[in-house]
Amino acid sequence: MLTLWSGEFRGRDAVTATNTVLIINGPNLNMLGAREPEIYGTVTLPDIESMCQNHGKTLGFDVDFRQSNAESDLISWIQDIDIQVAGLIINAGAYTHTSIALLDALKTINRPIIEVHLSNVYSRETFRHRSYISPAATGTICGFGPYGYVMALDALADQLRSGEDTG
């Protein structure tokens, strides 16, 4: 079982976390497998959820996996994070490039945050090169397809073990 970190993170109030990881997915990710398979592949969001659940178990995590096309849902889920959540993995989809409101919500939580993108956003359209949520993230993983979520779980486990912010 993973021994979770307890203490100050990124200069905010001290917390003690449990072993639940919240994974939030934004707009259009429910269409994975059908939407632009040449960019995103044929793996579906339920496939990614299954990967995360399985890998989370190997790390000692319970995974709470969610998706919404509504920005307000994502913000509410972030605002509802409490001591029962060890960390957050977020793929905000297109809201990454547009939502100051998501950034503001993310800045209120005292947990490690890993930003994930399936595609390499820096090899795509210029407007995708700007992430409004990166300033609140501990780190960003992009361009590795569904495996990026597994990498994010590993990175989160490392952050929780070490209690250090590498960002």
The token pair at 121 is: 């956003």
CA dist., res. 58 & res. 63, Å (int): 11
Nearest to 51 by CA among 129, 145, 122, 128: 145
Choose the catalytic residue: 55, 95, 117, 149: 117
* Inter-helix orientation angle 147-162/45-59, to 10°: 30
CB count in 10 Å sphere of residue 163 = 13
The token pair at 113 is: 């945050």
Whether 97 is catalytic: no
Whether 40 is catalytic: yes
Task: Answer yes or no: are the C-beta atoms of 69 and 25 closer than 8 Å.
Answer: no
The token pair at 164 is: 């250090």
Choose the catalytic residue: 40, 95, 132, 149: 40
Task: Answer yes or no: are the C-beta atoms of 140 and 148 closer than 8 Å.
Answer: no
Positions annotated as catalytic residues are 40, 117
